[in-house]
Amino acid sequence: MHSHVHPGTPILQWSPDKTHSDRERWICIYPAYINSKKTIPQGRKIAKDKCVENPTYQEIRDVLSATGFLVGVENKCFSRERSKELLFRGRIRVQLKNNDGTPVNPDYPTRDSLLIHLGEMIPKLKTRNVKAAGDQPASSSSSGKGKGKKGRR
């Protein structure tokens, strides 16, 4: 059992003992990547129309968890984030690949495909649809349906 590392070899190469399930190899996602309020120089990574307004790390985490990814949250601020508000904090780490290099979720093999998925799903989260709060069924009174049913005795 010889190890082939010669003394003096700089340890800059990818080390094979770091598997895809090691957190250091997980990809990082900052909310800025999918924030429609950001410009590309400010860190947005995908087309604005695929983005979502001011996503939070919790929303990203919820969508990724629901999609079956292993997710970690780190209390890191995006380097280009000027605002130190808690809203903008949080870096998501997500395991994109299995140890054998295959995608954890074949529907989302790349970071960009995942970002686009996040941009689609976050607006659908219950936390985003606060307008439909309360226990009533979401009946909109403005639609004009059901007139005259109130007031009957």
pLDDT confidence bin for 87, thresholds 50/70/90: low
pLDDT at 83 over 60: yes
Question: By the 8 A CB rule, do 63 and 128 touch?
Answer: no
pLDDT confidence bin for 126, thresholds 50/70/90: confident
Q: Whole-model pTM above 0.75? A: no
CA neighbor of 30 nearest in space, from 92, 112, 110: 92
Tokens of 2: 């010889």
Question: By the 8 A CB rule, do 119 and 34 touch?
Answer: yes
Question: Tokens 């690949």 belong to which residue?
Answer: 97
Question: By the 8 A CB rule, do 23 and 93 touch?
Answer: yes
According to CATH, the topology of domain 23-127 is Phenylalanyl-tRNA Synthetase; Chain B, domain 1 (3.30.56)
Write the single-letter amino acid at 97.
Answer: K
Q: What is the pLDDT of residues 1-58, one digit of tens each?
A: 554 555 554 444 545 566 777 877 889 999 999 999 999 999 999 999 999 999 999 9
Q: Give the domain ranges of the chain.
A: 23-127
